[in-house]
């Protein structure tokens, strides 16, 4: 006669260890996402550039419309006014994407803002020397406030 083992089988023990491991990893990921690198606020700002024009046009609305830029070394500048009204320091990141991205540079695109701090960040649009394509180039600047 075979006697029954009073312990857990190898399969059950392995399954329990795997479940405990996955719960631990999931809990750690959840904690990290919520309390360490959580998005506080995200703003999307539309970008529009028209290179290859004879005149310079500049739009003063809250989007980053740089208007018409001369094709040879045309430049334009805008400022983003940023304020941290939270009671904690925030990591601020600015990312540019889209067709207009090669023309855009940001003065300081990643930094920590202290509580109640105000900053002006310059955003530049530059048409490279020798660029001869006309058209309307659009994109998006994403301003992300994150918990550092």
As for how many domains the chain has, the answer is 1
What predicted TM-score, i.e. pTM, was given to this entire model? Answer: 0.64
pLDDT of residue 72: 64
Q: Using pLDDT thresholds of 50, 70 and 90, give the confidence band for residue 35.
A: low
Each residue of 106-128: pLDDT tens digit? 988 999 999 999 999 998 888 87
Residue 28: pLDDT over 70 = yes
Query: Between 69 and 96, where is the model more confident?
Result: 96
- List the domain range (segments joined by +) for residue 131: 40-146
Is 61 within a domain?
A: yes
Is 5 within a domain?
A: no
Using alpha carbons only, what angle is made at residue 108 by residues 63 and 40, rounded to the nearest 5 degrees?
A: 70
Residue 54: pLDDT over 90 = no
Is 62 within a domain?
A: yes
User: Residue length, the chain?
Assistant: 148
Is 12 within a domain?
A: no
């Amino acid at each position: 006669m075979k006697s029954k083992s009073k312990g857990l089988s190898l399969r059950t023990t392995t399954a329990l260890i795997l479940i405990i491991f996955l719960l631990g990893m999931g809990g750690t990921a959840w904690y990290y996402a919520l309390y360490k690198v959580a998005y506080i606020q995200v703003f999307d700002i539309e970008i529009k550039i028209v290179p290859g024009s004879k005149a310079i046009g500049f739009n003063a609305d809250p989007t980053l419309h740089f208007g018409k830029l001369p094709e040879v070394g045309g430049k334009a500048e805008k400022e983003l006014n940023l304020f941290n009204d939270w009671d904690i320091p925030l990591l601020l990141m600015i990312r540019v994407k889209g067709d207009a991205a090669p023309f855009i540079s940001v003065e300081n695109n990643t930094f920590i803002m202290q509580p109640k701090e105000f900053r002006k960040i310059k955003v530049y649009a530059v048409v490279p020397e020798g660029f001869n394509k006309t058209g309307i180039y659009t994109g998006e600047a994403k301003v992300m406030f994150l918990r550092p």
